[in-house]
Amino acid sequence: MDSITQVMLGASIQGALLGRWQGRKALLYGAMLGTLPDLDVVIDYGDAVANMTQHRGFSHSLLVLFGVAVLLTWLVLRLHPHPGYSRQRLFATLALVLLTHPLLDSFTSYGTQLFWPLMPTPLAWSSIFIIDPLYTTPLAIAVLLGLLFGLRDKMAKAPLVALVLSTLYLGSTLAGKHMAEQRVEAQLALQGIQAEALFSTPTPLNSLLWRVIVLDGEDYHEALVGWFDRQPPQLIRLPRGTALAAVLADSAAHRRLAWFTDGLLRYDQIGEHLVVTDIRLGMTGVHPFRFDFAHQHNGEWRVHERIDRWPAGLADLTRLQVLWRRIWQPELQVPLAAWANELGKPLLSTARQTCKVERDEC
């Protein structure tokens, strides 16, 4: 999740468990500790693929963070003991603040290595967008109330109430994910499509409209599924460019990226460059993680030793507005194919979607 949400989550947990004794300081301590795992972003692992796939690695490992909680508990008891709460309460607080950070991250689409240094495919339950105001707002309100009025008397339970509300909302996103996948799987069965993999994720800033990706050989399908839809989802077939992947057969960076994304990649030749896109993240046609893996020289592909990011463009407000309208107007035709086809173009613009999507004039 975004840093603000992690700060609010950490502050709320420590405020709920230790606010009675630490007062407003509990919010500060929890906020600082709650954002600690994300400090790995300052590490440069060598190139763009390494930086992406190493993030949410050792610093998000449950094994590592459990050890950090043990160490911090010992240090606090040694340097600044408090007679009001027990060693067990202190350890439980620090452990929860630290461990809930990667657990919450696992509900996003990015991929979190909860069991580092073991190497299973990073967990991406992908039931919540990386920024979701409905999850963050209760926590932010509780933290604000705690700062204004303290964490005693009537305000003592505010962080706990906020945590319950946010957790219930997080649980509801799993129901949305199940709904979207069930509807797409039913449509796949009707069309006789054997899916190699199926991935679902909410569209930006909400959990009412879902984007479902289905891998199907050299192609992939995308569909939008909303809670208020009355018609079966429409599967849009898109080229995946898998033939280009043969160029990267000996690339360790490509193998790591395929492992990290569980193979949900698209390949495009853009001019003389081979660009690989992680299609899980972002929204159709605008994906933040694109990589320049190779270029052509005298008709032959040369794989880069150091992989750089390919410009991904910015999500323009027009597309976000279209997706928001699609939530409430299920009959609205969103030009997913036109948006996705822009991935193969040399330049990405942030403000060129001016067509009327009702008539698909793009």
pLDDT in tens, 200-223: 999 999 999 999 999 999 999 999
pLDDT at 353: 38
238 in Cβ contact with 220 (< 8 Å):
yes
Q: Which residue has the higher pLDDT, 154 or 18?
A: 18
Task: Give the tokens for residue 244.
Answer: 């280009």
Summary mean pLDDT of the chain = 93
Amino acid (1-letter code) at residue 17: L
pLDDT at 43: 95
The answer to whether residue 361 scores a pLDDT higher than 70 is: no
pLDDT at 315: 65
Over residues 75-87, the mean pLDDT reads 93
The answer to whether residue 19 scores a pLDDT higher than 90 is: yes
Distances (CA, A) of 99 to 33, 123, 225, 345: 10, 14, 32, 42
Torsion of CA 3, 30, 107, 129, to 10 degrees: -30
pLDDT in tens, 40-67: 999 999 999 999 999 999 999 999 999 9
pLDDT at 362: 39
pLDDT at 317: 86
The answer to whether residue 163 scores a pLDDT higher than 60 is: yes
pLDDT at 347: 64
pLDDT in tens, 227-254: 999 999 999 999 999 999 999 999 999 9
The answer to whether residue 100 scores a pLDDT higher than 50 is: yes
Tell me the sheet residues that pair with 295. Answer: 273, 302
Q: Which of 321, 341, 334, 328 shows the shortest CA–CA distance to 223?
A: 334
Q: What is the pTM of this model?
A: 0.91
The answer to whether residue 104 scores a pLDDT higher than 90 is: yes
pLDDT in tens, 137-158: 999 999 999 999 999 877 889 9
Q: Which of 129, 235, 221 shows the shortest CA–CA distance to 187?
A: 235
pLDDT in tens, 276-321: 999 999 999 999 999 999 999 988 999 999 999 999 866 678 999 9
- Residue 76's region, left for phi above 0, alpha for psi from -120 to 50, else beta, is alpha
Residue 68 pLDDT class (50, 70, 90 cuts)? very high
pLDDT in tens, 4-14: 999 999 999 99
